[in-house]
């Protein structure tokens, strides 16, 4: 789910140089706890702030939670607790696509999208669909109808309708053409489902198994849950559940341009392609390949957001990673909690450490 205007995504660029000061993580943890106790961080379940490989803060709070829409009751969240990523899942799928592309297992971004689904010859034959390329799915510019602005409790919401369809891929591919591809950014969990299917077809592995082998295991992520729909397909749009430290670990991988422990896990050139602005979301926010982008191109801030206040913000230069979980599902103001963690705590501390 995405409903945040640009001002809510914007991460306040951190373009400084300076001498780092000593880290006082306990102080920052105390500040976060005090703010939570004062009701200033409603729904926050946990937050991690890392800067240049150092853990500045890590806090957890109890709260009501869900597993992909199913209430779980009051949870005592901790470093070992699995939590919904919701649409942050999409950006993880983007990393997996880059890994599979480097292995020659998935089509290149300029490949025709519908040609990758020969099981639907009637759709392939419809005029205009031959113009839709894989990169249009990666950048959510397919030009076909898709509406996730409706509540996720509404069966008319396109993602919910996709989950309820007898064939999710036909449902996505048969949506009416609204305009030429590459013209307008149209938020679409369906586009990500198609990309996940290309990964599964090319690798011969279910999406969650491929993620485990190629991304999670190299990062030493041992525990995860990828919720599947009624058809048994892992939800590529919103179904991944991770612990907060493991989400931060993925963020650090991105900040390090795909390198972990000296090993290139995600190709650097794929991340660079992913962080090239390809679509305008709204004023101040652009979209690459399954990542929101703010800031100047040479100082990219990559952002992944999810329903309820889930957020991962990564700025490779100067090396800021902020991950937060919250339980404000389907609350249109849920962005306020995660953005407050970023702008009121992470950014000031990073500035302090740089002596500014």
Q: What is the pLDDT of residue 176?
A: 98
Average pLDDT per 10 consecutive residues for the chain, totaling 356 residues:
43 45 73 98 98 97 97 98 98 98 98 98 97 98 96 91 96 98 97 98 98 98 96 96 98 98 98 97 95 85 97 95 97 96 96 83
101: left (phi > 0), else alpha (psi -120 to 50), else beta? Answer: alpha
Q: What is the pLDDT of residue 31?
A: 97
225: left (phi > 0), else alpha (psi -120 to 50), else beta? Answer: beta
What token pair was written down for 353? 């450490």
- Our CA angle for 308, 285, 320, nearest 5°, is 70
Establish how many alpha carbons lie within 13 A of residue 294's alpha carbon, considering only the half-sphere containing its beta carbon.
19
Q: Is 214 helix (H, G, I), strand (E, B) or coil?
A: helix
Cβ atoms of 156 and 174 closer than 8 Å: no
| Residue 57 exposed, middle or buried by CB count within 10 Å (0-12, 13-18, 19+) | buried
Q: How far is CA 176 from CA 1, 126, 142, 170, 281, in A?
A: 21, 10, 11, 12, 21
Residue 278: alpha-carbon gap to chain centroid: 17
| Residue 343 exposed, middle or buried by CB count within 10 Å (0-12, 13-18, 19+) | middle
């Amino acid at each position: 789910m995405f409903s945040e205007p640009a001002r809510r995504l914007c991460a306040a660029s951190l373009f400084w140089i300076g001498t780092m000061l000593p880290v006082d993580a306990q102080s920052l943890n105390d500040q976060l706890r005090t703010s939570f106790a004062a009701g200033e961080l409603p729904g926050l379940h946990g937050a991690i702030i890392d800067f240049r490989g150092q853990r500045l803060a890590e806090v957890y709070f109890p709260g009501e939670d869900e597993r992909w829409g199913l209430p779980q009751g009051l949870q005592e969240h901790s470093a070992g607790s699995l939590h919904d990523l919701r649409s942050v899942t999409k950006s993880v799928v983007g990393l997996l696509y880059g890994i599979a592309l480097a292995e020659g297992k998935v089509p290149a971004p300029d490949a025709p999208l519908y040609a990758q689904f020969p099981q639907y010859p009637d759709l392939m034959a419809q005029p205009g669909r031959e113009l839709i390329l894989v990169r249009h799915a990666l950048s959510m510019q397919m030009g076909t109808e898709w509406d996730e602005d409706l509540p996720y409790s509404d069966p008319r919401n396109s993602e919910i309708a996709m989950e309820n369809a007898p064939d999710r891929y036909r449902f996505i591919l048969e949506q009416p053409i609204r305009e030429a591809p590459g013209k307008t950014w149209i938020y679409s969990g369906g586009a990500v489902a198609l990309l996940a299917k290309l990964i599964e077809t090319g690798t011969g592995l279910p999406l969650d198994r491929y993620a485990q082998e190629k991304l999670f295991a190299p990062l030493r992520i041992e525990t995860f849950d990828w919720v599947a729909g009624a058809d048994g397909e892992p939800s590529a749009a919103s179904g991944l559940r991770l612990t907060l430290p493991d989400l931060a670990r993925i963020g650090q991988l991105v900040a390090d341009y795909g390198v972990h422990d000296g090993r290139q896990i995600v190709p650097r050139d794929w991340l660079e392609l992913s962080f090239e602005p390809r679509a305008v979301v709204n004023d101040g926010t652009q979209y690459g390949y399954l990542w929101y982008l703010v800031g100047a191109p040479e100082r990219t801030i990559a952002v992944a957001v999810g329903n309820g206040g889930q957020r991962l913000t990564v700025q490779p230069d100067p090396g800021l990673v902020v991950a937060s979980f919250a339980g404000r599902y389907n609350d249109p103001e849920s962005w306020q909690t995660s953005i407050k963690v970023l702008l009121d705590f992470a950014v000031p501390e990073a500035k302090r450490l740089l002596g500014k």
